[in-house]
Amino acid sequence: MKKIIENLSALLEIGVDELKNKLDIKDDTSSKELARKLGVYSIFETKEEHAEYINSKLANKEDLINSYSDKVNSNKELIEKQKIEIEKLNKSLENNLNYKTIISNFVKKEWENLGIKRSFEKEIFDYSSLDFSNLRKSLIDYANAEGLAFSKPSFSEFINEKEKENNESAINAIAVNGAVKK
């Protein structure tokens, strides 16, 4: 710092002590304090001090760049994960639409089997309100509640199937010493 003060006093053609008094500085004044007194951003006595200052600023910027680079990489990973999640959701949506179509076709077939007079396509169903363990009864209840005409189901087909099963099981049995074995 002493060299800067001597150079300034020589340029201004005043003595070193007079310059120190005018700037209100001492021999141990730092370069930052002298720069503040002169109204400048910074003063460096040597090239090495200047290089050190620039390197420290560059290191700060490099740290900032690395930080942003890490954030960008993190965001890229997050974007990739979200793309995969979107693909999964799209597949799930497609599967759900397929299941909805299958269920709708199943309900429509039963609707037509019951001979309900109103077009199935005109009805707006809350499928969750239907009992799929007994869909026929559920649709009959719906038709009754809505006042729709329909054909009463014929249970003779069901009875005939049961009798046929019973006859088949009787045919597959043999009697041995009074006991029936299948």
Is residue 39 left, alpha or beta, with left meaning phi > 0 and alpha meaning psi from -120 to 50? Answer: left
d(CA 152, CA 52): 97
Q: Quick check: is 157 in a domain?
A: yes
The domain containing residue 139 runs over which residues? 72-181
Residue type, 171: I
96: part of which helix (H) or strand (E)?
helix 47-114
In terms of pTM, does the model score above 0.85?
no
Q: Are 142 and 132 in contact (CB under 8 A)?
A: no
Instruction: Name the burial class of residue 111, with classes exposed (0-12), middle (13-18) and buried (19+) by CB atoms within 10 angstroms of its CB.
Output: buried
pLDDT of residue 42: 82
Q: Quick check: is 5 in a domain?
A: no
- Give the contacts of 146 (CB within 8 A, at least 6 positions apart): 118
Domain total of the chain: 1
Q: Quick check: is 21 in a domain?
A: no
Q: Quick check: is 44 in a domain?
A: no
Q: Which residue has the tokens 């800067």?
A: 4
Q: Quick check: is 152 in a domain?
A: yes
**Least-confidence region, from 34-43, 89-98, 151-160:** 151-160
**pLDDT tens figures, 51-77:** 998 898 898 899 999 999 999 999 999
Residue 170 predicted with pLDDT over 60: no
